[in-house]
């Protein structure tokens, strides 16, 4: 019996015969870890005291967050860089782009080879007839240390693409059609080989688009046979053959939440959109950039919308610059990001806000994957056309006049306009938390990595978690406790969260020797009680029970039976405090 492509690759990288269903060890030619999983791989290696099998075959790829704009990503990248220096491991750093594309473009991956990565779309390597697999950090650690990892030899499904798509259909439309036919789990546990006259005409970029979405069908990999690579035997045994008619195929689109919920673009209602994203490992190639430039040339993004474009590699970015595509994108009003994964990875451009409707060329549109918005998946051509039109459409149906932006005016209800009454204590009593430090800044109080939080109920848990020695403050503090600190408390930024986090925890008052100027205003305006007293940290001991009278400024230390005079609330502070904040009104 003949062998499928994956059986041949496995047998060339194993001491065992690749019998369907057997578990065998496979030698791995390329072993990669990305910035989000790399730090865990390093941790695993160091904790288990493991060494690197072959540093020449081992790589880090920093493609999830090339800007390092998320501080945890930046920290993980630094951990990986240090480890790489010690072990002579090559890094495709933040200036390079998507790792799976780089190993193809730079000739590191070869047809018939093997690769593993902490990337669920490592099966993109099927575009050149290479076996690629995304894996967790334990698997990658083992591969780095041993040069091999176990696999179950899968059955293969043969996919025949029949016919020729319409002139406006792209490889993304074809793979969406495949997803519509096969479903989200139609390839679950299977490898696939794809055939047909259409596949023979595909460029590398088109094959990458199709292979990259094997994951969305549940597949292990979609492999393209090639003359210079591995081919199945004529009598290879397949689990089944699937025939998909792509003749005269039109532009396709996936509706939000489910990549497999695919329909023709023309079959959906006229949906106004807010934003668009072109990029990802599925559609950030030169073919994609050129078709987008053709559509955007001498056109403008519809007013009130934003189009975000991210080439998959730095070389593609530079080629766009050389060909004048960047100028076309900018003239149209698009935002161009650094090469990388972009919208698929949190922290990069391509994310959406609640209620935002976006059309994306990515590979997934699960709810929450690209933020809180609703994501439609489509080809780069459809994305570009839709952003010019202001609604989802195809490149052959762009109107002369873009659709206006929908504006919903939120009116205050009569109830919300009513004046509110507040009963607030003028005297408080509680347990003291004494922090004998000056110049505690707002990043120590509420770190900037949490600044996107707008719900005050969520803020308390992060209070002081960037202040050395007080990282567990929020877990141990009790409602009614009092914070006692030194000079210039709350210096630094103007972030309101550095005040609101204490309100969320129920802190009754903050006593400081002095406050940062902006912090003092923020606290008073949001009715967070603050009071000043010179040398206070030397009069109060940690966990003393103290009371504070806001009108008089009298502080009583009940534990030590002592009385101190602090500066009382000013008349303005007291009036704002009584009404519950600057923006509130009293009856």
% of the chain residues with pLDDT over 90: 83
Task: Let me know if the fold of 1-246 is the same as that of 427-578.
Answer: no
Give the CATH architecture of domain 252-397. 2-Layer Sandwich (3.30)
Task: For residue 97, name the pLDDT band (cuts at 50, 70, 90).
Answer: very high
343 has pLDDT over 80: no
Give the burial string for 561-581 (b: 16+ CB within 10 Å, else e).
eeebebebbeeebbebbbbbe
CATH superfamily of 427-578: Aconitase, domain 4 (3.20.19.10)
- Indicate the average pLDDT of the chain: 93
Q: Which of 78, 46, 65, 212 is CA-nearest to residue 144? A: 46
pLDDT digits (tens, 9 = 90+) for 103-162: 999 999 999 999 999 988 999 999 999 999 999 899 999 999 999 999 999 999 999 999
| Mean pLDDT computed over 520-535 | 95
Inter-helix orientation angle 380-389/286-296, to 10°: 20
Task: For Cα atoms 304, 381, 179, give the angle at the middle one, nearest 5 degrees.
Answer: 115
413 has pLDDT over 70: no
- At 419 the pLDDT is 52
364 has pLDDT over 90: no
DSSP-based three-state secondary structure for 511: strand
415 has pLDDT over 60: no
Domain ranges of the chain: 1-246, 252-397, 427-578
- At 410 the pLDDT is 43
366 has pLDDT over 60: yes
Q: What is the CATH number of domain 1-246?
A: 3.30.499.10
Between 70-79, 191-200, 299-308, 510-519, the lowest mean confidence (pLDDT) is in: 70-79
191 has pLDDT over 80: yes
Residue 75's CB is within 10 A of a number of other CB atoms, namely: 12
pLDDT digits (tens, 9 = 90+) for 373-388: 999 999 999 999 999 9
Question: Is the CB of residue 154 less than 8 Å from the CB of residue 191?
Answer: yes
Task: For residue 412, name the pLDDT band (cuts at 50, 70, 90).
Answer: very low
% of the chain residues with pLDDT over 70: 96
């Amino acid at each position: 019996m003949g062998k499928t492509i994956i059986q041949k690759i496995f047998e060339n990288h194993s001491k065992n015969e690749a019998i369907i269903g057997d578990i065998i060890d496979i030698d791995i030619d390329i072993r990669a870890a990305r910035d989000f999983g790399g730090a865990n791989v390093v941790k695993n290696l160091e904790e288990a005291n493991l060494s690197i099998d072959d540093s020449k075959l081992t790589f880090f790829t920093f493609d999830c967050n090339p800007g390092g704009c998320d501080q945890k990503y930046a920290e993980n990248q630094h951990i990986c860089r240090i480890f790489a220096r010690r072990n002579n491991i090559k890094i495709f750093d933040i200036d390079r782009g998507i790792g799976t594309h780089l190993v193809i473009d730079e000739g590191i991956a070869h047809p018939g080879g093997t690769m593993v990565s902490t990337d669920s779309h490592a099966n993109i390597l099927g575009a050149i007839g290479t076996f690629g697999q995304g894996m967790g950090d334990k698997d990658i650690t083992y591969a780095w240390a041993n040069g091999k990892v176990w696999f179950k030899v899968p059955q293969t499904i043969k996919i025949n693409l029949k016919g020729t798509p319409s002139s406006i259909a792209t490889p993304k439309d074809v793979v969406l059609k495949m997803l519509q036919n096969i479903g989200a789990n139609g390839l679950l546990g299977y490898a696939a080989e794809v055939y047909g006259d259409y596949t023979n005409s595909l460029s590398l970029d088109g094959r990458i688009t199709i292979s990259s979405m094997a994951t969305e069908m549940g597949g292990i990999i979609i492999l393209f046979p090639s003359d210079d690579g591995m081919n199945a035997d004529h009598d290879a045994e397949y689990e089944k053959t699937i025939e998909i008619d792509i003749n005269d195929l039109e532009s396709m689109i996936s509706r939000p939440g489910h990549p497999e919920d695919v329909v023709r673009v023309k079959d959906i209602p006229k949906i106004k959109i807010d934003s668009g994203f072109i990029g990802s490992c599925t559609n950030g190639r030169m073919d994609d950039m050129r078709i987008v430039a053709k559509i955007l040339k001498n056109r403008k993004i519809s007013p009130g919308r934003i189009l975000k474009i991210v080439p998959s590699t730095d070389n593609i970015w530079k080629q766009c610059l050389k060909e004048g595509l960047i100028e076309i994108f900018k003239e149209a009003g698009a935002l161009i990001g650094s090469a990388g994964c972009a919208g698929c990875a949190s922290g990069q451009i391509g994310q959406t806000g609640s209620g935002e409707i976006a059309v994306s060329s990515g590979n997934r549109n699960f709810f929450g994957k690209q933020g809180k918005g609703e994501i439609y998946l489509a080809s780069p051509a459809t994305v570009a056309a839709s952003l010019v039109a202001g609604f989802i459409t195809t490149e052959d149906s762009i109107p002369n006049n873009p659709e206006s932006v929908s504006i919903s005016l939120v009116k205050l209800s009569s109830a919300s306009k009513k004046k509110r009454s507040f009963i607030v204590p003028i005297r408080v009593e509680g347990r003291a938390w004494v922090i004998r430090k000056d110049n505690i800044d707002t990043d120590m109080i509420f770190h900037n990595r949490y600044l996107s939080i707008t719900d005050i109920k969520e803020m308390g848990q992060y209070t002081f978690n960037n202040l050395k020695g007080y990282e567990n403050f929020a877990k141990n503090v009790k409602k009614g406790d009092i914070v006692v600190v030194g000079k210039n408390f709350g210096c630094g930024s103007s972030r309101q969260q550095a005040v609101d986090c204490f309100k969320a925890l129920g802190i009754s008052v903050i006593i400081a020797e002095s406050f940062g100027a902006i912090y003092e205003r923020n606290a008073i305006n949001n009715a967070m009680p603050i009071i000043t007293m010179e040398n206070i940290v030397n009069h109060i001991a940690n966990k003393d029970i103290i009371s504070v009278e806001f009108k008089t400024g009298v502080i009583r230390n009940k534990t030590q039976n002592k009385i101190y005079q602090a500066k009382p609330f000013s008349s303005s502070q007291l009036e704002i405090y009584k009404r519950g904040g600057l923006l509130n009104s009293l009856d």
